[in-house]
Amino acid sequence: MNKFPRSAYIHIPFCHRRCFYCDFAVIPLGNKIESSQGYGSKTIKEYLHFLYKEILSIKHKSPLSTIYIGGGTPSILCPQQIKDLIILFKENYGLDYGAEITMEVDPASFNQDDLYGFINAGINRFSLGAQSFNNQILQNAGRRHLREDVEKCCSWLKKTYDSGLIKSWSLDLIQNLPLSGFREWQEDLKKTVNFSPPHISIYDLNIENGTVFKKLIALGKLQLPSDDDAFRNSESTNFILKGSGYSRYEISNYCLPGHQSRHNRVYWTGLGWWSFGQGSTSSPWGEKFTRPRISKEYKKWVINQCENSLDSSLVNKGFLYRELDEKIMLGMRLREGVDIYKLFEEQKWEKKEFEINLRSLLKEWEMYLESGLLVRNGNRFLLSDPKGMELSNQILISMFKWWDKIN
């Protein structure tokens, strides 16, 4: 396998401020940012200069079928800056006809004129980081926007989608935030469904090192939903969204027919992708490489890329297959699961080793197959929905233990 990557992720690290759960590579610039002129513009323009240099440094370019502009808060950029970025790819890589071009937007960082400007720039899919419709929950998570902002943005996106100006849009929520009990979570889901977004992402809250939430937990000042309440919330997610016509095609993602995220499926199915920008991770030919998370170090790295030579992970030297455990982990996130026999065959094991390793994995998974958390269809194994998907960590941990044993 020696195909050039057909997808690119672009990281725009700027935010007004860091949310209390966030550990991403972001640069908080404060509330009054003017991306092209005024406060913060110099920082943004300097970053874009180095980002462009990195994008142009790649030798093995091929037309792209998906582009995803994430962050941070990409909607801090003005429409012209987004347009310049898309033109850069169009002129230097090429874009397939019908390419999916997604941009993350934050309810507090753009207005209706900006939205139409982003569409004119070439964006045809938006991902709205709402997180909740509840003002108290939003405030306690360190978000800048209010419920009214989310509702207004949803109305704009629904209007542009219904009129055919964009191909799709997604609404993102975070499950089990502080103060988000069963009643509050059901309200969030019902409000979401009322706007009929073609795609919905439901992310579980993770407490990461270095975040405000982590510090509050250490001080005993953060109360999160109990495990029972969290599972009850997950069950209601599945019940409400499936009852509203949404299909769960991946652990954290639901969609109406025809609206799966093409870009995100690239990650889960093990295809190669480009990635550009501070702190982002690329894997064009199977080998992962993460850029520096600190702005100063990222700029030095870009200069080195351009003046000396590309990092080895970015040079086309044939596809390196991921470790088997990672392929199983990513594939199991999807509704269709994985063909274990096919993955085993890619390991080039001798027949005896193949059979011994397969038996030991099936032994690890025996209790999950019996309980119905894991389902077997011939050679294909998949998580049951909803319980298997909600308790996927247990199944994956047993698989990682198996992989450690045989290695």
* Tens of pLDDT, residues 34-66: 777 777 889 999 999 999 999 999 988 899 999
Looking at this protein, which amino acid is placed at residue 173? Answer: L
- Residue 32: its pLDDT value, please? 76
Question: Given this model, what pLDDT does residue 319 score?
Answer: 60
Task: Read off the pLDDT of residues 275-326 as tens digits, 9 standing for 90 and up.
Answer: 999 999 999 888 889 999 999 999 999 999 988 888 877 887 666 667 889 9
Region 190-213 average pLDDT: 95
Q: Residue 318 has what pLDDT?
A: 65
CA pair distance 252, 264, nearest whole angstrom: 11
Taking each continuous run of H as one helix and of E as one strand, the counts in the chain are: 15, 16
Structure pTM? 0.93
Distance between CA 350 and CA 373 in Å, rounded? Answer: 31
Question: Contact at 8 Å (CB) between 147 and 135?
Answer: yes
Decide: 13 and 70 in contact? Cβ < 8 Å.
no
Task: Assess contact for 267 and 330: CB atoms under 8 A.
Answer: yes
**Structural domains present in the chain:** 7-268 (3.20.20.70), 324-406 (1.10.10)
- Nearest of 101, 97, 37 to residue 70 by alpha carbon: 101
Q: What is the pLDDT, as a whole number, of residue 241?
A: 96
Q: What is the pLDDT of residue 293?
A: 95
3-state helix, strand, coil in the chain (%, to 5): 45, 20, 35
